[in-house]
């Protein structure tokens, strides 16, 4: 379930800075630990199983939506509590635009691509890491496709995004709109309303869509655990949850190495070597997923039984992985970056991206039959 905000806003870091050298070990350890907790929560929720994601997009099962809503609602409470207490000042994400038809056009198009990629691959930028860690066959090919998508984005795709030119677009970028500002609510009122909506939907799903192979408590508890890791991520790294920016960092490293080997002048113009902050976080996700799977073999066995329902080819996994990363970077975040972190701030751009993600995934599933 992108984008850690630090990577997209500052893709390069000054590795030769004494302060960075002194703090590097601490930062890496904090990122890995935060990622490990997130990875364990993802695995505990069983949302990483390809059949869970594809069944959601085909509207055959609502396990994924339950996990998402519980995780998003609990994360929203965490962010509200930390911001209200003054411990953090985590704000909403700015709209993403390509200046085509709306201030949010990149959020819409990117979200549609992200959802389509999820339907094709049975993964999202976060769950693919858990798939690799737990040995799901399609996960490896999805990961390769995701890396390729990151390379495409950093080499060419980023040029699609443009700076806002109109006065309303500039205002939205400098002061990102929120649900509370749009409906003239207080932050607390917006939070309570969102929590209530999520609660009602989860209760309806639990009542009308009973599960057979996984107990109904699994997605609820898993979602709560994912939401709780928002607190650990903000505390340990001062960054919200998100994974797709790690693939952008991989792309930056690819092109940095390429330009270095070819003697390109572009290396001289960069402010330093690419950042690795999100990469260390997703490494932790893999570690945490693997450790949880080893400690809970019964849980892994149930997830494996579920996965037998999916039949994702290597080509589909690769193509889906590439599309979902390209889309998530165009939208400025993925299921975790927008869905768990962005919506937690009641940011309009995140709601638009997530709605487009589900529309893209469910729409493609309807077309495929």
User: Rg (Cα) of the chain, in Å, rounded?
Assistant: 19
pLDDT attached to residue 2: 43
pLDDT attached to residue 4: 47
pLDDT tens-digit map of 268-299: 566 678 888 999 999 999 999 999 999 987 66
pLDDT tens-digit map of 21-50: 557 888 899 999 999 999 999 999 999 999
pLDDT tens-digit map of 233-276: 999 999 999 999 999 999 999 999 998 888 776 655 666 788 88
pLDDT attached to residue 207: 86
Low-confidence ranges of the chain (pLDDT < 50): 2-9, 14-16, 18
Model confidence, pTM:
0.88
pLDDT attached to residue 24: 81
pLDDT attached to residue 7: 39
Burial 312-330 (b: 16+ CB within 10 A, else e): beeebbbbbbbbbbbbbbb
């Amino acid at each position: 379930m992108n984008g850690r905000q630090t990577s997209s806003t500052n893709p390069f870091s000054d590795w030769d800075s004494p302060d960075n050298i002194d703090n590097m070990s601490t930062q890496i350890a904090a990122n890995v630990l935060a990622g490990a907790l997130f990875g364990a929560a993802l695995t505990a929720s069983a949302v990483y199983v390809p059949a869970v994601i594809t069944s959601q997009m085909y509207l055959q099962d609502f396990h994924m939506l339950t996990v998402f809503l519980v995780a998003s609602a609990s994360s929203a409470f965490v962010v509200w509590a930390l911001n209200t207490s003054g411990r953090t000042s985590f704000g909403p994400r700015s709209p993403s635009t390509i200046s085509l038809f709306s201030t949010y056009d990149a959020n819409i198009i990117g979200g549609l691509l992200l959802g389509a990629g999820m339907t094709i691959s049975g993964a999202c930028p976060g769950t693919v890491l858990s798939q690799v860690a737990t040995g799901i066959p399609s996960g490896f090919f999805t990961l390769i496709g995701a890396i390729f998508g990151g390379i495409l984005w950093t080499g060419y795709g980023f040029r699609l995004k443009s700076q806002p030119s109109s006065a309303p677009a500039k205002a939205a970028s400098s002061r990102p709109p929120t649900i509370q500002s749009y409906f003239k609510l207080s932050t607390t009122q917006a939070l309570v309303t969102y929590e209530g909506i999520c609660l009602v939907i989860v209760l309806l799903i639990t009542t009308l869509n009973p599960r057979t192979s996984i107990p109904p408590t699994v997605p609820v508890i898993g979602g709560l655990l994912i939401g709780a890791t928002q607190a650990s991520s903000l505390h340990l790294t001062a960054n919200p949850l998100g994974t797709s920016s790690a693939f952008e960092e991989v792309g930056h490293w690819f092109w940095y190495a390429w330009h270095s080997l070819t003697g390109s002048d572009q290396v001289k113009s960069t402010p330093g070597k690419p950042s690795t902050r999100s990469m260390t976080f997703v490494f932790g996700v893999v570690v945490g997923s693997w450790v949880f799977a080893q400690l809970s073999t019964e849980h892994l066995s149930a997830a494996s039984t579920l996965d037998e329902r999916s039949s994702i080819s290597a080509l589909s996994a690769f193509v889906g992985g590439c599309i979902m990363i390209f889309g998530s970077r165009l939208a400025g975040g993925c299921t975790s970056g927008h869905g768990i972190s962005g919506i937690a701030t009641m940011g309009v751009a995140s709601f638009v991206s997530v709605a487009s993600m589900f529309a893209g995934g469910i729409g493609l599933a309807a077309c495929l039959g």
